[in-house]
Amino acid sequence: MSFETSFGTLSGRDHGPDAVAPPLVFLQGLMSGADVWSDVVSQLAPDRRCITLEWPFGAHPRPMRSGADLSPPGLARLVIEVLDRIGLERATLVGHDSGA
């Protein structure tokens, strides 16, 4: 999946069934790509919807728009924007390191 945000284009993957439980949205740490979650997602995806994105934490493949606010509060706004854009009213955020 790939979509536009006010920060720029984000890409990612939607794994697993669209279950009743809120999906898991993964936030990797600084200088990590979404693939850091591959082992975890492979174990959870048979039973839970797992969403991994290339968040702009330093290892993202596409540059964000000039002037995008990549401060912690700005990135929090991006997470909310993404959840809204995907159409998720509820989600469980899973993070580690600076992604937490």
So what's the architecture of 2-99 in CATH? Answer: 3-Layer(aba) Sandwich (3.40)
How far apart CA 2 and CA 60 sit, in angstroms, is: 13
Mean pLDDT for the stretch of residues 61-88: 93
pLDDT at 100: 58
The alpha carbon of 12 is separated from its chain's Cα centroid by a whole number of angstroms, namely: 7
The contacts of residue 69 (CB under 8 Å, 6+ apart) are 7, 75, 77
Confidence of residue 99 (pLDDT cuts 50, 70, 90): low
Higher pLDDT, 92 or 2: 92
Q: Is the distance from CB of 48 to CB of 21 less than 8 angstroms? A: yes
pLDDT at 74: 95
